[in-house]
Every structure is written in structure tokens, then in C-alpha cells.
């Protein structure tokens, strides 16, 4: 097992590595280019070139494979002539790298920003310290994420050796309603705010089990508050069951992150699920205490 950290950082010693699972894209769902203008509010900016550069970087980051200039034109809606010069500049800055054949992928300079972000994120550092001290879940896949709008962003990942069919990676984004960490964090948000967040509709489902409506999601979140932990029963990946719990800091008003642990669904029965749920909540409470939250009750309500 290993932390998936930026290349400049070494994973903790003593963890076994496993590369049997297929990696997932950073974004598992995307808005078609034709619908992009309608799906996102217009960004008012005095620097449209900067906005366009960020759109290019986002497109490359979310792609399954390196993108050609034609791909970027289709995805961003920008003229190929303007993208050509912009991509040349991004390559010179090492924000992109041009591969043989002309396709582009993220460049190494991006990792310096990722390292700086992670070094400034206290929850990530405390999670790593806690992981080094605990014996909990060292045979399983454990993730730490934060909520960013309607998505979760993964901050730290320790992938186990179970064939889950997914490899979690730092920076990967997934729709919050379908993940254990997302449900855990959303359970600390007022129901009215949750309804507003998904007023335009739920994200594209990832499996047939993905919660279908906002009303059903709100009901799930009520159950999370009652139990003290969340359950993703195959909503993110078929055949995988995850248990999550929110993490709080000293303000204790709403979650600043969440921890989740993932297993094969075939391993989980009701008693086992209840035990794992309590254990992941206990681990999240330990992390909360390290962030200044103090003692937390077992229920979230």
C-alpha cells in the first residue's frame, strides 16, 4: 500500500504497492463542449487570456490521455490559432509538455504548485502523521478529501491491494453525492444549501446505484447524521462499498474534510459494515482532534 503523493515526496516505508487497478481520470464526468457555456456561469474577467489558459489546463488535467490541439479547440471552443501560441507558452513554462506526435499532457511545474498547496494544507499533514501512528485500515484503501462545490477533491490516498477497479489519486475529482466522503461532508451542510447546490440537477450518475434525486440525497444525508458515518453502496463504482466520516477543525461548524475506507462489496455484511463504519468515524474523530475540534459525539445531528 502507498500514499499517492507528488513525485517529490516518498511514500511511507513498509507499505506494499499495488498497481493492479486501472486508474480513473481526474474528473469522471465532463460537460460536452456544446453545453459548457450553458452549464457554467460566465466569468467576468479583465484577463481573458488567463481564463483561457486555465480552461486549457483543466481540459488536459481531466483527460484520459494527452490532448491534441484539435481536442483542445473542441473542448474549449477557442480558435486553434490562439491556442497554438498559448500552448507554446505553457510548454515553455513547463505547465504543459508536448509529447512525440504533438499531443500535450501536464508538465512538471504543476507539481511544484501541488506540493505547495499540500504543504499549506494542515489537514493533509495531520492525516499523514495520524496514518503513521495508527494500525487502522492498513490493509484497505483509505482516502482523505475536501469538498469543492458539488465535487470532492482527493488530498491523500493510501491504496490497498484489493481489486477495486479504481486507483484513487491526489487531485482526482468526483461528484460529491456519489462518494462516501462527499456524503459525509454534505451531511454537515444545511439541507436547504444542499438543495440549492444541486438546483440545476444531479451530476451524471457513475453507476446504476448512484442516488438519482436531490430529495433522495437529502434523505441519505439525514441517515448519515443519525449513524455518524456515510455509506457509498456501489454509487461510485460497481462492486465497491465505502464508508466515510467527516473531519472538523476548531470551528466545528461544518466538515473541513472527510476520510473514507473502501472494500469489495462481497466482503461486507451488515455486522461488518456497522463495525467498519464505527472504526472510520473513530479515525475521523482522531483527525478532528488533531485539528482542534476536541471531543465529538458519535452522531452528527
| Residue pLDDT, tens place only, 182-206 | 999 999 999 999 999 999 999 999 9
45-49: average pLDDT: 80
Chain mean pLDDT for the chain: 82
The conformation of residue 283, written as its DSSP 8-state character, comes to H
pLDDT attached to residue 300 = 52
pLDDT attached to residue 10 = 36
What residue ranges of the chain are covered by domains with CATH 1.10.10.10?
43-107
Judge whether 92 and 50 are in contact, CB under 8 Å: no
Return the higher-pLDDT residue of 300 and 7: 300
d(CA 29, CA 66): 17
* pLDDT band at residue 57 under the 50/70/90 scheme: very high
d(CA 211, CA 236): 10
CATH 3.40.50.2000 is right for the domain spanning 43-107: no
Return the higher-pLDDT residue of 45 and 297: 45
* pLDDT band at residue 40 under the 50/70/90 scheme: very low
Beta strands in 100-216 (DSSP E): 104-106, 141-148, 151-159, 173-175
What residue ranges of the chain are covered by domains with CATH 3.30.450.40?
121-290
pLDDT(150) > 90: yes
129-154: average pLDDT: 90
pLDDT(298) > 90: no
228-234: average pLDDT: 96
Cell numbers found for residue 206:
457513475
Q: At what angle do helices 122-133 and 109-119 cross, to 10 degrees?
A: 80
274-299: average pLDDT: 84
* pLDDT band at residue 220 under the 50/70/90 scheme: very high
Question: CA geometry: angle at 121 spanning 248 and 17, to 5°?
Answer: 95
pLDDT attached to residue 158 = 85
d(CA 300, CA 295): 12
Report pLDDT digits (tens) over 58-106. 999 888 899 999 999 999 998 988 899 999 999 999 999 999 999 999 9
Strand (E) or helix (H) holding 15: none
CATH superfamily placement of domain 121-290: GAF domain (3.30.450.40)
* pLDDT band at residue 120 under the 50/70/90 scheme: low
Strand (E) or helix (H) holding 211: none
Report pLDDT digits (tens) over 15-30. 333 333 333 333 333 3
Amino acid at each position: 500500500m502507498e500514499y499517492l503523493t507528488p513525485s517529490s515526496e516518498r511514500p511511507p516505508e513498509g507499505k506494499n504497492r499495488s498497481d493492479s487497478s486501472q486508474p480513473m481520470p481526474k474528473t469522471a464526468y465532463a460537460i460536452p463542449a456544446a453545453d459548457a457555456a450553458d452549464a457554467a456561469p460566465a466569468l467576468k474577467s479583465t484577463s481573458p487570456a488567463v481564463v483561457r489558459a486555465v480552461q486549457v489546463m483543466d481540459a488536459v488535467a481531466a483527460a484520459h490521455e494527452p490532448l491534441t490541439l484539435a481536442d483542445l479547440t473542441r473542448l474549449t471552443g477557442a480558435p486553434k490559432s490562439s491556442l497554438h501560441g498559448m500552448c507554446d507558452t505553457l510548454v515553455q513554462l513547463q505547465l504543459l509538455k508536448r509529447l512525440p506526435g504533438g499531443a500535450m499532457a501536464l508538465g512538471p511545474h504543476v507539481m511544484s504548485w501541488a506540493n505547495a498547496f499540500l504543504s499549506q494544507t494542515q489537514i493533509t499533514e495531520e492525516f499523514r502523521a495520524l496514518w503513521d501512528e495508527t494500525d487502522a485500515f492498513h490493509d484497505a484503501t483509505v482516502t482523505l478529501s475536501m469538498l469543492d462545490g458539488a465535487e470532492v477533491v482527493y488530498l491523500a490516498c493510501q491504496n490497498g491491494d484489493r481489486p477495486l477497479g479504481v486507483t484513487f489519486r491526489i487531485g482526482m475529482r468526483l461528484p460529491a453525492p456519489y462518494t462516501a466522503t462527499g456524503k459525509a461532508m454534505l451531511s454537515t451542510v444545511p439541507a436547504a444549501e444542499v438543495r440549492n447546490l444541486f438546483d440545476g440537477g444531479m451530476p451524471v450518475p457513475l453507476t446504476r446505484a448512484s442516488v438519482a434525486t436531490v430529495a433522495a440525497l437529502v434523505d441519505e444525508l439525514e441517515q448519515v447524521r443519525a449513524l455518524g458515518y456515510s455509506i457509498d453502496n456501489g454509487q461510485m463504482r460497481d462492486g465497491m462499498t465505502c464508508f466515510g466520516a467527516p473531519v472538523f477543525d476548531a470551528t466545528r461548524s461544518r466538515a473541513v474534510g472527510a476520510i473514507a475506507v473502501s472494500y469489495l462489496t462481497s466482503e461486507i455484511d451488515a455486522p461488518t459494515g456497522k463495525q467498519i463504519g464505527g472504526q472510520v468515524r473513530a479515525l475521523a474523530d482522531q483527525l478532528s482532534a488533531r485539528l482542534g475540534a476536541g471531543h465529538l459525539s458519535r452522531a452528527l445531528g
